[in-house]
Amino acid sequence: MTRARLEEPDEGPRSKRAAILTAAIEYFGEAGYEATKWSAIAGQVGIGQTALYHYFESKAHCLLTIMRLELQRSRARFVEATGQTSDPTEALRAAVRAAFAVSDHEILQMRILQNNISLLAGTRTSKREETERQAARELVQLIERDWVRLLTQGMSRGEFPVRDAHTMALALLGMIVSVWRWYRPTGTTPLAEVSELIEGCCVRMVTQ
């Protein structure tokens, strides 16, 4: 498996790529990918519909890019947060806290990621889409491995009872990311509260 080293294309000074991504995150996140018209994003950015194809091969290519960027960001945060300590329980707590230390814009990206994650399953017909898809899939696998390693270390040190680390990791991840399906910044429960509650759940799940 070769590591896909995707660097962001060099952006000229006139480039609207960042503006398109921002608008797309807004629309895809609020209204949903299928429900938003590609042309609406062009309108928001202030360019014609066809100009979008200068930056992205397709609507799906834009979506996959957003998803890949979010996966990169959230993996980086995980690595950064868990690298601070060698105590497995503390690392677990730090990982959960890192998962919920996000801006409103990043919440939208997590939501987009969750709502369209099944897109990563099937092969894409166009080249650049497929590249993004594979990069995203690899990141998903890396993130899963990161969590498995976290659990395995805790188990081998005797801090966590020994269980199927892989299934446990998927269960933890599943619980954490499921929050983005229902959480809204405008809702009644503040995110800090959700974060604390989930942190406790994760710890009890794993350590008892």
Tokens of 6: 């995707």
- # chain residues binding DNA, by CB under 7 A: 21
Instruction: Single out the residue of 30, 31, 32, 48 in contact with DNA (rule: CB under 7 A).
Output: 48
Contacts to a second copy from residues 40-99, by CB under 8 A: none
DSSP string of 169-207?
A: HHHHHHHHHHHHHH--TTSSS-HHHHHHHHHHHHHHHHH
Burial of 14 (0-12, 13-18, 19+ CB in 10 A): exposed
Name the minimum Å distance from CB 66 to DNA. Answer: 14
Q: Which is nearer to a second copy, 80 or 193 (CB)?
A: 193
How far is the C-alpha of 35 from the C-alpha of 171, rounded, in Å? Answer: 30
CB of 185 to DNA, least distance (A): 26
Task: Decide: is 47 part of the binding site for DNA (CB under 7 A).
Answer: yes
Residue 7: count of CB within 10 angstroms of its CB: 5
* Residues 23, 41 contacting (CB under 8 angstroms): yes
Contact between 197 and a second copy by CB under 8 A: the answer reads yes
Nearest to 73 by CA among 41, 101, 93: 101
Choose which of 34, 37, 76, 79 interacts with a second copy (CB under 8 A): 34
Q: Which of 31, 51, 162, 192 binds DNA (CB under 7 A)?
A: 51
Q: State in angstroms the smallest separation of the CB of 146 from a second copy.
A: 16
Sign of torsion over alpha carbons 137, 58, 36, 13: positive
Residue with Cβ nearer DNA (39 or 141): 39
* Contact present, 122 and 86 (Cβ < 8 Å): no
Q: What token pair was written down for 33?
A: 């990918």
194 contributes a contact to a second copy by CB under 8 A: yes
Binding site residues, a second copy, CB under 8 A: 31-32, 34-35, 115, 117-119, 121-122, 163-164, 166-168, 170-171, 173-175, 177-179, 181-182, 189, 193-194, 197-198, 200-201, 204-205, 208
Using CB under 7 A as the criterion, which residues of the chain lie in contact with DNA when the complex forms?
11-16, 36-39, 47-51, 53-54, 57-60
